[in-house]
Structure 1
């Protein structure tokens, strides 16, 4: 089922049936504009989901272009099935009336799309609920923080996240994201300054409130912070498992 964006009739959302701990209720697929429309992040190749995209697009003059925010499979799997040109831009250009912002961090090839009306299609840079993962092998927390700062410098009225609900107060959400990462870094630095060098001890101290089932994702987040500190020359020697 499609849902129009609050205050922006030019945007429709369809949620892919791929729920999970990292995708929340599923990947958000967006349709932007009309005659023809642009599909952003088609999500899964589930036949029902693809059918819903085609049906919603038919009401908007068909599909002219498929845009991807990044190359992770939960955003791209159904792209080639839609029968239109698929583009993952490099950033700095305009595609289908959308300005392409290079926003690496969650993925090295991550971009966001910004419309003239202030709608930002943020992919996995910002989620509607919780915080996003900065994974090893392509992720970079230093780049991620720069990307959040880039979004903070834009005039944004609505964020359409890759997962989770619409973000109707972009300024507050972006500030929350920055403060969350700074808080974690502060806790990690405090543990390191206190002499902790074991990864297990650092995780237990800096992520002490995390439920046990989320500890694997917390450990991934910690590695991203440690990599950032090392790159900045602020990581003490002697780190161990």
Structure 2
């Protein structure tokens, strides 16, 4: 049974039945509009879910489908939804990775078949019937990650909880975001996190978990968290610990065994960011098995 929750006069939410350690209670699918509807992130392929959703929303017609990014818990159901409704899909592009010189352990998490009808650019405004959206590039968690601001309804600027940004997986209230190279890139993630510090929106609607009603506070928390993780890694390197597996044991002492792999990939992402900043070097490129050390000029200056 589809449970649709009204969260503002023009916005509803239904949570897909795909709970897990990575998706929390499931993927949030957002419904914007009353008679002609825009869907943000229809979710994964779950038998019967999309037909039930379409039926539950009748007699309203779904006309637009916005995809924040092409991970398999967000975009695959777009094809079925498009087939049933004729709605066009919007995104920043097809699935891709940041680099091809390293293995991609998250290859199967990507929706490589997804191909949007309309490709959006950063800061592009576009209309979905009587709703106006602005696309905001937020890559880092995923190469093609895009957030969508609801800026106008019936040509009137949005107010209160409808002056909002659909942030996908870029920002979540229940957990920090997985950033795992080459599927993700920490430098890009942090750049776009800082970018949203001054975003003029009252609410962030995340793809997993509850609405974020204090966006700047949450962004500040996430930045502090990432810098804290960076400091922990640098502390390990100062002690001569350059092995990622050992770093994870030290920095995540009580972690669920199922999350050891993602923690190692997150550490790799942090190391890639440190390498980008010329703070760290590797003896064998960017891999889980490489040995890492502080760059000579950084040994006595970083977090001293």
Bigger Cα displacement from structure 2, 108-117 vs 50-59: 50-59
Residue 138 of structure 2 corresponds to residue 87 of structure 1? no
Aligned mates of 2:225, 2:216 — CA distance in 1? 14
* Aligned partner (choices 5, 13, 16) of residue 3 of structure 1: 5
Bigger Cα displacement from structure 2, 47-56 vs 222-231: 47-56
Query: Deviations for 1:191-236, whole angstroms, at most 9, x for unmatched residues?
Result: 1122211222222223334333321111111010011111111114
2:14 aligns to what?
Answer: 14
Within-5 A mapping of 1:56-95: 56-58=56-58, 61-82=60-81, 83=85, 84-88=87-91, 89-95=120-126
Residue 164 of structure 2 corresponds to residue 122 of structure 1? no
2:136 aligns to what?
Answer: 101
Task: Note if contact 1:122-1:159 (Cα within 8 Å) is conserved in structure 2.
Answer: yes
Aligned mates of 2:122, 2:281 — CA distance in 1? 35
2:108 aligns to what?
Answer: none
Question: Following TM superposition, by how much is the alpha carbon of 1:166 offset from its aligned partner in structure 2, in angstroms?
Answer: 1.6
Aligned mates of 2:258, 2:183 — CA distance in 1? 24
Aligned residues: 238
Within-5 A mapping of 1:43-192: 43-58=43-58, 61-82=60-81, 83=85, 84-88=87-91, 89-95=120-126, 96=128, 97-116=132-151, 117=158, 118-192=163-237
Question: Following TM superposition, by how much is the alpha carbon of 1:128 offset from its aligned partner in structure 2, in angstroms?
Answer: 3.1
Task: Note if contact 1:16-1:29 (Cα within 8 Å) is conserved in structure 2.
Answer: yes
Aligned mates of 2:79, 2:209 — CA distance in 1? 24
Which of these two proteins has the greater Rg computed from alpha carbons?
Answer: 2
2:302 aligns to what?
Answer: none
Query: SS of 2:80's equivalent?
Result: helix
Question: Following TM superposition, by how much is the alpha carbon of 1:56 offset from its aligned partner in structure 2, in angstroms?
Answer: 4.6
